[in-house]
Structure 1
Amino acid sequence: MSADRLRTAARLAHIAPFHVMELAKQAAALEREGRHIVHMGIGEPDFTAPEPVLRAATEALRQGMTQYTGATGIPALREAIAGYYASYYGLSVAPERIIVTAGASAALLLACAVLVDMGDEVLMPDPSYPCNRHFVAAFDGRAVMIPSGPAQRFQLSASQVEQHWGTRTRGVLLASPSNPTGTSILPDELERIVQAVRARGGFTIVDEIYQGLSYDATPVSGLSYGDDVVTVNSFSKYFNMTGWRLGWLVVPPSLVDAFEKVAQNLFICPSAVSQHAAVACFSEEALAIYEARKAEFRQRRALVVPALKDLGFEIPVEPDGAFYVYADCRNVAHPAAGDADRLTQAMLQDAGVVIVPGMDFGPSTAHSHVRVSYATSQANIALAMERLAGLFGKTHG
């Protein structure tokens, strides 16, 4: 049989292209032609790992600390993460409950492998990070996308969970702050959601990878509402280690063995060098650097939000975390207003600015909204806003 006749798995039919990455490919092609492009599409900090982390990685390499580790991570890192929960959240989390993973994506895959059975339904907001529904589908579950608009801060509410819970519902998958909206679930609402799910015997998974980048209030972890909540975190965003592929889970004590067994079989272990380097993330020196970078992100938010409003975008819920603005594009002065796909193509081709359409994040806002990433310099943000002002016939102040 020739390779072009090999049959692919049926589940691939339900996985749409990731438009964020498709636009990035188009932008790269334009750059090869000599165009200058301002990237406000991919959610990746323009900061990289700080010097303390680089020193720790170099030392690990020198000492030959490059072999397999335990599937749940090295003890020093699990203890450092537990210490972070104590100092940052005031929570006592046993290191044994912490499962270090090959990024938050691997963490979510593990959670779905352990908790989702064939035919199970998992509730999540629309809009939400597109890969989340595919993680569920990878284990033959089904994501149920619930339209969640500005009135709910683009997040699920407890009343929506109660309304949409059915006979096949197994749990909920949340993110706070969220990609693509940069909005958090208010603490009282999150507590009500956990209680509603618990009353129905389900699981609650909370993706908290952007909580280190919360600007307006100290975030509250889902772990505050019981040790039956599964939380996901990452070294990619606040800790600026995207390509190091390192994250973690905090899981209920009764599920530690199950998660370890699946991790052993699917991943063996996370990167050894990344783990040894990441211990240094929690040093006083590194945390001071991260807090300074967080302050820079806050300044970027203060720059981009009013600039987008001046251009005609509506921002019904201002972001309180991450580095995204989810903007309504229906009233901008352009022929493609209200068609986010065409509009983002015009912004790329005619203005040299990468912004992504809402179609990645769910059908309810697919055409009406765009996601703007401010994970780039203030100079780049100012240049992008100037170019878009020209595109929309505005005077940029």
Structure 2
Amino acid sequence: MNAPRIPDNLASRLAHIEPFHVMELAKMATELEKAGRSMIHMSIGEPDFTAAPPVLRAAEQAMREGRLQYTAATGLPELREAISGFYRNVYGIDVAPRRILVTAGASAALLLACAALVERDAEVLMPDPSYPCNRHFVAAFEGRATMIPSGPEHRFQLSESMLRQHWNDKTRGVLLASPSNPTGTSIEHGELARIVGAVREQGGFTIVDEIYQGLTYDDAPFTALSLGEDVIVINSFSKYFNMTGWRLGWLVVPESLLPQFEKLAQNLFICASTVAQYAGVACFSPEAIAIYEERKAEFKRRRDYIVPALREIGFDIPVVPDGAFYVYANCRKLADDADALALELMREAGVVMVPGLDFGSYTARDYVRISYATSMENLQEAVRRLKNYFASRKR
């Protein structure tokens, strides 16, 4: 596909940044709903839960007391302490609060990381498929995202051997996600350690997006921070903590890089939302954590329902997702083109899912991403609609 022509008064880098197709699909579904159609949304990765009551109370208290001024660019000290305690309590590792930068969502954390580490024409390795905005963050700083095809035999993730095969003189680092969007799959701990070791040998950087790390269902909790202080980790309050619209995240960086990251944060953002930060502190209270763990168990229950149900319909799911709230399903038995199928199912069955087009070229025609971040009732109704639709096509 040829890059679109960019008007002369706009930066040429925009030619390398594609639209976020899932958002375009969601807009189409909304228009159909306005016309009276019933839609079940299994597209956007947004929990159907909202912030827990202790979090809402903390935000209300901050507003009543007028604690609404700027914070330090690195975030409220008590929030950084709370995040540090979270790593200690859940993962059994000590992460100094000074290494933690609070950001305006994980997107701001990724922006800071790319601003600090990606130079013009520098190559950053990542798997195909992967979250589309990751490659666009690299492109925004005139770097090049090198998308390495990865199939179910590698859990749709990179491996040490793939990294060594593709590393060249222009490669500066890797950008990984575990668990991944769109696949819901994690990198096996030993493999991730080998990847980090290989990058370290090359003098490169390793960024690991862990925004779904709180939503892992089958293994003990694990963070890439346990592999060394040179690993840069990104996390968010959006997924496990159900705070998508609050725009709050964090970034853990090597202490030696902190002054440079702080300088960028001061200039680009000033600080994350103060109200959201005070609310974020309450996320780590025992009352809130108990609520989030109950919701995590509900996500697992939904996964355990939807995976066999989709397989019964005819979707091929070669790797059961172990985290997040996505199923990456091969639809070749049902259609020749995933993009066309997604549009067809939205218009004819009222079920919205995302074609692989957003996530890379390797699996674009064969896979759809299905989000189970909706109620069990909605999932059951979606399965009923899909069964009825495919049954009607056979007649």
Q: TM-score, normalised by structure 2?
A: 0.97
Work out which of the residue numbers 147, 150, 154 in structure 1 matches 2:149.
147
Q: Alpha carbon RMSD of aligned pairs, Å?
A: 1.2
Give the secondary structure class of the aligned counterpart of 2:250: strand
- Counterpart CA distance in 1 for 2:146 and 2:389 is 37
Pick one of 253, 261, 264 that aligns with 2:263.
261
- Quote the Cα distance in structure 2 between the aligned partners of 1:116 and 1:291: 37
Letter in 2 for 1:316: P
After superposition, the C-alpha distances for 1:356-385 in whole angstroms (9 at most, x for unaligned) are 100000000000000000000000000001
Shift of residue 219, structure 1, vs aligned partner = 2.9
- Which structure 1 segments of 5+ residues have no match? none
The 3-state SS of whatever aligns with 2:102 is strand
| Corresponding residue pairs, total | 388
String of CA shifts for 1:22-69, please: whole Å, max 9, x gaps: 110000000100111000000000000010000000000011111110
Q: Which of 99, 102, 126 is 1:100 aligned to?
A: 102
Inter-partner Cα distance in structure 2 for 1:64 and 1:141: 42
* Counterpart check, 1:392 vs 2:390: yes
The residue aligned with 2:87 is 85
Structure 2: which amino acid aligns with 1:93? V
Please give the secondary structure, in 2, of the residue aligned with 1:112: helix
Conserved 8 A contact 1:206-1:222: yes
| Structure 2 counterpart of 1:212, from 214, 229, 235 | 214
User: Residue type matched to 1:382 in 2?
Assistant: Q
User: Following the alignment from structure 2 to structure 1, what is the Cα–Cα distance between the partners of residues 22 and 240?
Assistant: 21
The answer for the alignment partner of 1:13 in structure 2 is 15
Deviates more, 1:7-16 or 1:275-284: 7-16
Matches within 5 A, 1:192-271: 192-271=194-273
Is 1:323–1:375's contact at 8 Å kept on the other side of the alignment?
Answer: yes
Residue of structure 2 equivalent to 1:371: 369
- Partners of 1:100 and 1:122 lie apart in 2 by 24
CA contact (8 A) 2:90 2:221 kept: no
What does 1:1-397 align with in structure 2 at a 5 Å threshold? Answer: 7-332=9-334, 337-393=335-391
The answer as to whether partners of 1:177 and 1:183 remain within 8 angstroms in 2 is: yes
Displacement of 1:13? 1.1
Contact 2:124 2:172 in 1 (8 A): yes
- The letter of the residue matching 2:235 is N
Shift of 1:5: 7.1
| Shift in Å, 1:6 | 6.4
Residue 121 to residue 58, structure 1, CA distance change in 2 (3 Å): same
| Inter-partner Cα distance in structure 1 for 2:164 and 2:366 | 27
* Separation in structure 2 between the aligned mates of residue 11 and residue 232 of structure 1, nearest angstrom: 25
Instruction: Kindly state the Cα deviation for residue 264 of structure 1 after the two structures are TM-superposed.
Output: 0.3
Q: Which runs of at least 4 in structure 1 moved beyond 2 Å after TM superposition?
A: none
Q: Distance in 2 between matches of 1:227 and 1:196?
A: 15
Deviation at 1:338, TM superposition (A): 2.7
> Once structures 1 and 2 are overlaid, which stretch shifts more, 6-15 or 346-355?
6-15
CA contact (8 A) 1:338 1:367 kept: yes
Q: CA–CA distance in 2 between the matches of 1:111 and 1:5?
A: 29
AA in 2 matched with 1:63: E
Cα distance in 2, alignment partners of residues 219 and 125 from structure 1? 23
3-state SS of the aligned residue for 1:26?
helix
Deviation at 1:110, TM superposition (A): 0.2
Paired residues of 1:311 and 1:394 also in contact (CA < 8 A): no
